[in-house]
């Protein structure tokens, strides 16, 4: 009987930590994006999946003390115009394609423009390379996002 209890506890313990291992192979989770121009953190973005499609939503902004701590997207050109940036879905429609996710769009709340995007995991799943572009990936910018615990 003790052996069965021990085995049950061991299986339960493994199953409770198994999602932590799976997270490193998936972009699902919380990420800190690093501005490719300044090298400073800009936001925390929560990436989720629904029916095999990824989306990203801003959870927190890293702003200087004199800046508006709860800005709205005044330059947005769609239904997000004038809406709070915190809580905004900025990344949509990414689908897995081999080792990367592509076919999606990402909004830059700073300029209100929406770009095509693709991403892939690097550094054993600890970093995410996100590329936003117009037309073809060569015409774009890349950011590194760092996984948050």
> Is the entire prediction scored with pTM above 0.85?
no
Give the pLDDT confidence of 50-102 residue by residue, as tens digits. Answer: 999 999 999 999 999 999 999 999 999 999 999 999 999 999 999 999 999 99
**Domains annotated on the chain, with CATH:** 27-147 (2.40.128.520)
State the pLDDT at residue 17: 41
Q: Sorting pLDDT into bands at 50, 70 and 90, what band is 37?
A: confident
CA dist 125 and 46 (Å) reads: 15
Whether pLDDT at 12 is above 80: no
CA dist 147 and 149 (Å) reads: 7
State the pLDDT at residue 96: 96
Whether pLDDT at 141 is above 60: yes
């Amino acid at each position: 009987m003790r052996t069965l209890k021990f085995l049950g506890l061991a299986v339960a313990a493994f199953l409770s930590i198994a999602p932590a291992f799976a997270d490193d192979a998936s972009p699902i989770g919380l990420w800190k994006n690093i501005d490719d121009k300044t090298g400073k953190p800009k936001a925390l973005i929560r990436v989720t999946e629904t029916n095999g499609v990824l989306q990203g939503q801003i959870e927190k902004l890293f702003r200087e003390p004199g800046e508006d701590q709860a800005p709205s997207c005044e330059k947005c050109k769609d239904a997000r115009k004038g809406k709070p940036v915190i809580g905004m879905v900025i990344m949509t429609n990414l689908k897995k394609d081999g080792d990367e996710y592509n076919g999606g769009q990402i909004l830059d709340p700073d300029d209100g423009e929406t770009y095509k995007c693709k991403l892939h995991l690097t550094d054993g799943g600890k970093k995410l390379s996100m590329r936003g572009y117009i037309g073809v990936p060569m015409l774009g910018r890349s950011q590194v996002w760092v996984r948050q615990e």
